[in-house]
A and B are shown apart, each in its own frame.
Chain A
């Protein structure tokens, strides 16, 4: 992928039940569908529709961005580190999976 998601995580080796903060950003145009090109034709809507974060199988966050979300959507969230495993993040738009990222979380 030309522009992989940018991920920052406060602690990849948290203590059990520690709150971990994650910041993530993808490059996406978030075209609102409200704009016209120079010929006056509407530019079709192209937005990110879903972001999911899971630790192993457990769903941590399901985010549904709408038109008001800025270009190159940025999301910051926190979760309680209950177990070691893989933090998996998936961004989807109308045509399916747009980007994916993983971070390994190891309880210390």
Chain B
């Protein structure tokens, strides 16, 4: 037996489902984007050169952990950490992460202080296509440490 209240409930459910479908459609249509990948690493190299100044990057002391395959390009886990000992006399002042082919290659910037006592960060990035990710860290003694690694991603799903 179907009561009047049941019928109303059913109607509400059907209406809700239709509304949900409409929302999904609306979201799908909103996916057009003017984001386009950088053709090469020139913009990224320019940002790196700004960061380097007069210094030369040393390919040591900095570890970049990211998956070889970014199965979700909208949120790729990236961890960067200075592997040499951080002391009260020697610490990491500033660190940048570059996603070389992204429309805006500078992914993020970190600043630490002597109080931090550590330089180990992890974030999630959106990557527009297969590219190299590069990290540069400036230590308090002026040295710049560098790490660079390639990552393959499924293109077009990053939501930029």
Interface residue ranges, A against B (CB under 8 Å) = 17, 19, 21, 32, 34-38, 40, 42-43, 55, 58-71, 73-80, 82
Contacts and interface: CB of A to CB of B under 8 A. Distances in A.
Contacts of A64: 108-110
B108 A66 contact: yes
A62 B118 CA distance: 13
Nearest to B127: A68
Contacts of B126: 68-71
Contacts of B124: 69-70, 73-74
B115 A55 contact: yes
A76 B107 contact: no
B9 interface: no
A76 B115 contact: no
B117 A82 contact: yes
A61 B33 contact: no
Contact of B30 (A34, A38, A61, A78): A38
23 contacts: A19-B117, A34-B35, A35-B32, A35-B33, A36-B30, A37-B30, A43-B30, A58-B115, A59-B111, A60-B116, A61-B111, A68-B106, A69-B126, A70-B74, A70-B125, A71-B159, A73-B124, A75-B122, A76-B121, A77-B121, A78-B118, A80-B115, A80-B116
Given A68-B126, A69-B108, A70-B75, A36 B121 contact: no
Nearest to B159: A71
Interface string B33-54: 1110000000000000000000
B32 A62 contact: no
Nearest to A65: B108
Interface of B: 26, 29-35, 74-76, 79, 99, 102-113, 115-118, 120-127, 159-160
Given A34-B33, A36-B32, A65-B123, A76 B160 contact: no
B75 A34 contact: no
B35 A32 contact: yes
Nearest to B110: A63
A67 B120 contact: no
Contacts of B113: 58-60
A70 B102 CA distance: 13
Contacts of A42: 34
Contacts of A32: 33, 35, 159-160
Nearest to A37: B30
